[in-house]
A and B are shown apart, each in its own frame.
Chain A
Amino acid sequence: MTETHADYQLSQLDQLEAESIHIFREVAAEFEKPVLMFSGGKDSIVMLRLAEKAFYPAKIPFSILQVDTGLDFPEVMETRDRWVQRLGINLVVASIDDAIKNGIIPDAAKISRNRLQIPTLLNAIEENGFTAAFGGGRRDEEKARAKERVYSHRDEFGQWDPKNQRPELWSLYNGRLHEGEHMRIFPISNWTELDVWDYIGREQIEIPSIYFSHQRRVFERDGMLMTETPLNPMREGEVASERTVRFRTCGDITLTGCVESTASTIEEIIDEVAIARVTERGATRGDDKFSEAAMEDRKKEGYF
């Protein structure tokens, strides 16, 4: 061959981007009504950026869907609103409070909001007739996710059957559905936490300010630093103090802990992530701590 292959080298981040864009276009072409599940976290923001690139200069040809737990960080909502405005896309909000009010889900004060997200989300998918829902799940996050397909089939009850997944070969995705079923699509399956940060840094895109180091009044619970807020009353013996912290994930304010950190730029966060010795979920997510198989169980029920 006369070509020098070195001239046609694509960095691994560009390869991941190309793969994700391919997935977005494939879904937009083959599904009747896709939607992008948006949590406001860094992974869903990276998804929005990839979707923007996939269809540019046209607008993103689908809506975004957010489950409003009523317990979201206000900084996350502000970032969401700026993205929605800039991209001119339609935002569908599925509120847990509304779902309780309308009797769609039981008002079970004892159940965590995290659990109530599942029926609220499934109801929103069904009501709006969404046939494909993009999620920001990554296979490096957790052992059950490591086995999930990019196109992950959900039955009419929204359930995932890990033992009965469709084989997924080459980049040939099979989007066939029966009435009432839908597909979860994970376009950043092959990205790692570090890839996501590298990409945010490279693209210079806006993420919620809570990812960066800031002063916050926090207290310790189950080995995690939790935000002091009326939404999450402190228990006996818990004491709040002001610390310099940042969040590694964005979730329910009552379950998402932060870590002590002085990383205030993307570059500093990347340095921190590169040497981190604890997974982002292990460190700061109460919802994954309940059992070793916690994520697998929630996924089967229809969690993101």
Chain B
Amino acid sequence: MATAQNKPMDLLRFATAGSVDDGKSTLIGRLLLDSKSIFEDQLEAVEATSEAKGYDYTDLALLTDGLRSEREQGITIDVAYRYFATPARKFIIADTPGHVQYTRNMVTGASTADLGLVLVDARQGLTEQSRRHALILSLLRVPHLVLAVNKMDLVDFSQEVFDKIHAEFTQFATKLNIPDLQVIPISALAGDNVVNRSENMGWYQGPTLMHHLEHVHVASDRDLIDARFPVQYVVRPKSDEFHDYRGYGGQVAGGVLKQGDEVVVLPSGMTSKIAGIDLFDKEIDMAFPPMSVTIRLEDDVDVSRGDMIARVNNAPTATQDIDAMVCWMTTAPLLPKAKLAIKHTTRNGRVMVKDIQYRLDVNTLHRDQETKQLGVNEIGRVQLRCTVPLLVDPYSKNRTTGSFILIDETTGVTVGAGMING
């Protein structure tokens, strides 16, 4: 496992965003095609459709437009996941629509991403939408951002055009929280700087998009200091062979846990030591994110689903008062006094909205304190009071223990996504 002799193939999850006409679907098609991840039958179907539509080129966008309604409208309407691999890495793309009313889909795609890829059309330069996409990626704490300046072929591969967009974006990015930014000039249609280095832009010295995706360092994005283990499931076989076995199944959300570590179980505050960590039928030395393991404790303390195992001197905050940025995802607005169900790690509760402090204008970053409500696809700072204490960290420190979803208790639908401040 972690001690593999040769370097194991790792995984990069990235989210793409762009407007309908920025060529995002074409770019993904290009990545899949040039990395030889497209199968012949898929390519043949797309070639046939392109021809039937009277195009004189193969419309790579058709490779990713999944649902029939999308094909009819010619736009991507929901988050779609794509997969490809190179000898260096496996990639999972969360392909999200760039269209204005679909902020919720972008938030969804960005929530699990290591890297965000924003596309702009070189002829248009930065638009409201590209700024909004960058802001959402920064709010969701996606640690790496790539701005791909597309359609360079249509501006004669001009360095001047590229430099201007580059400078403008860098200026805007200073207002955001983007630890790592890479700006790349490309042509998705022609393939320049996507997988193969462009012969038309000798002035560009940086990596191709694929090279960057293959080599961007993501392992250190995880928090390996603050041990967090939300208990998911109590494993009690009650069999003859494992009569007294009692283990706590879960996925490590932070830090490194080892046998013998002194731990505290929250919210009870009981302390114990880790007796052992099991991964299926093997006992392992240590567990770190994102491993799913079963932890046994030395003492017979009361532990159940929704509890969190942490270190004695380094525990999350147990609180019923939550201050968070909330992205609202349903048509009926979020109003003060609203009551909703909440799911945070493996813990469920109910919350009441105490206050909506401000609504964030995702285009200008302006904080609107007058509008005391959040409409669909709006993001704002919200104070919540929960029926049970939640065991939280700031989202900026831990994307697992710092996030939650809000659920409408009548419809059962997920209506909000929250990132805890602090």
Contact = CB atoms under 8 A, between A and B. Distances in A.
Contacts of B278: 56
Contacts of B107: 167, 169
Given A57-B245, A167-B108, A277 B292 contact: no
A17 B8 CA distance: 14
Interface stretch (A8-16, A116-124, A211-219, A260-268): A8-16
B233 A25 contact: yes
B403 A58 contact: no
A248 to B, nearest CB: 12
B340 to A, nearest CB: 12
A192 interface: yes
B42 A279 contact: yes
B237 interface: yes
B105 interface: yes
B187 to A, nearest CB: 25
B414 interface: yes
Nearest to B412: A176
Interface in B79-123: 79-83, 85, 89-90, 92, 104-105, 107-108, 111-112
Contacts of B80: 143, 146-147
Interface stretch (B63-71, B199-207, B331-339, B383-391): B63-71
Nearest to B225: A1
Contacts, number: 209
A1 B222 CA distance: 11
B356 to A, nearest CB: 20
Given A29-B346, A147-B66, A171 B237 contact: no
Contacts of A75: none
B233 A28 contact: yes
Contacts of A143: 64-67, 80
Contacts of B292: 17-19, 21-22, 25, 54
A190 B81 contact: yes
A177 B132 CA distance: 34
Interface residues of B, number: 81
Nearest to B232: A25
Contact of B405 (A7, A10, A169, A282): A169
B237 A147 contact: no
B280 A22 contact: no
A9 B2 contact: yes
B241 interface: yes
Contacts of B67: 143-144, 147, 162-163, 296
A82 interface: no
A5 B219 contact: yes
Given A22-B232, A147-B79, A167-B417, A174 B407 contact: yes
A178 B408 CA distance: 12
Contact of B41 (A14, A52, A163, A283): A283
Contact of B235 (A7, A57, A194, A277): A57
Interface in B224-247: 224-225, 232-233, 235-239, 241-242, 245
Given A8-B256, A139-B81, A174 B343 contact: yes
A57 B83 contact: no
A279 B249 CA distance: 36
A156 interface: no
Contacts of B341: 176
B412 A190 contact: no
Interface string A14-40: 111111011001101100000000000
A236 interface: no
Contacts of A109: none
Contacts of B39: 276-279, 282
Contact of A56 (B79, B112, B281, B288): B281
Interface string A41-78: 00000000000111111110000000000000000000
Contacts of B238: 58
A290 interface: no
Given A7-B2, A147-B66, A12 B290 contact: no
Interface in A254-289: 276-279, 282-283
Given A53-B280, A144-B66, A278-B41, A12 B2 contact: no
A6 interface: yes
Contacts of B4: 9, 11
Given A29-B233, A167-B329, 18 more contacts: A3-B224, A3-B225, A5-B224, A9-B2, A9-B4, A10-B1, A12-B8, A13-B9, A22-B251, A56-B235, A56-B278, A147-B80, A162-B67, A166-B414, A169-B405, A172-B405, A276-B39, A277-B39
Interface of B: 1-2, 4, 7-11, 39-42, 45, 64-69, 77-83, 85, 89-90, 92, 104-105, 107-108, 111-112, 219-220, 222, 224-225, 232-233, 235-239, 241-242, 245, 249-251, 256, 278-281, 288, 290-292, 294, 305, 329, 341, 343-346, 399-400, 403-405, 407, 412-414, 417
10 contacts: A5-B222, A9-B7, A10-B1, A12-B90, A22-B232, A55-B233, A58-B237, A167-B105, A167-B329, A170-B112
